[in-house]
Amino acid sequence: MSTVIDVKDLCKTYVVNKKHNNVLKNVNFHIDEGEMVAIMGPSGSGKSTLLYTVSGMDKMTAGNVTFCGKELANLSDNEMADVRLDDMGFIFQQMYMMKNLTILDNIILPAVKSNRNHEKRSETEKRGRALMKKLGIEETADNDINEVSGGQLQRACICRSMINNPKVIFADEPTGALNRTSSDEVMCEMVKLNKEGTTVMLVTHDVKVAAKCTRVLYIVDGNIQGEYNLGSYNKPEELRDRERQLNNWLMEMGW
């Protein structure tokens, strides 16, 4: 199994009013192809900063991130933008979408903007509709973003994240703004995508979400303090035991 993300001695420092805030401190970990890895930790521990820095949305202060063989620190801003567009997918807690576009147009926008996409728009729309059908929201294609539920909108965000067939999906609290039913539905789709081969790195505070992941990394004060290997999640009957195992470990870690 090949490594898709390799993080070595990663540091991120913000300077505010001439004061240095070391948010990430010599972070080391890797994610292999096909894994679904959750990042957990207390509020302010650096979870989201880690995701943003590893994905190149924020520049690292020191260290290195190797993404699919490319050292991100060596890429220009334009090269990094191309990697994010073509090889990465993103899902956020706040479901950012263009208000003047339909759901389908929002989903296919990354493909329309990609320099790698040489297909006709009709073919791109066909792929977008196929993703929507796969996630059970095909009837919302022509709706505005304020005409669908939160759960439908987040599933549309998953479709958008998949439109360029990314190597990795980065998700920051993807279920944080949803009720439990919608959260379970969205995570069901995330697990399906992972089973089909898409690597996922997600930030969450929800044990029920993390219990469906392959592995959990626990971060405190900008350092990875430990990891717990849950193995592959295969059937709902396993979930309660996986949650119990993870809860016990998190308590040991000081959760």
pLDDT, position 159: 94
DSSP state of 35: -
Q: What is the pLDDT of residues 42-71, one digit of tens each?
A: 988 999 999 999 999 999 999 999 999 999
Check whether 118 has a pLDDT greater than 90.
no
Range of the domain at 79: 3-252
**Facing residues of 76 across strands?**
none
238: pLDDT confidence band, cut at 50, 70 and 90? very high
Q: What is the pLDDT of residues 200-222, one digit of tens each?
A: 999 999 999 999 999 999 999 99
Residue 191 belongs to what H/E stretch? helix 180-195
In this structure, what CATH number is given to the domain that contains residue 179? Answer: 3.40.50.300
15: pLDDT confidence band, cut at 50, 70 and 90? confident
174 vs 169: CA distance, rounded Å:
11
Lowest-confidence pick of 34-48, 151-165, 175-189, 239-253: 175-189
How many structural domains comprise the chain?
Answer: 1
Contact 207, 29 (CB under 8 A): no
pLDDT, position 95: 75
Provide the whole-model pTM.
0.92
Lowest-confidence pick of 32-46, 127-141, 178-192: 178-192
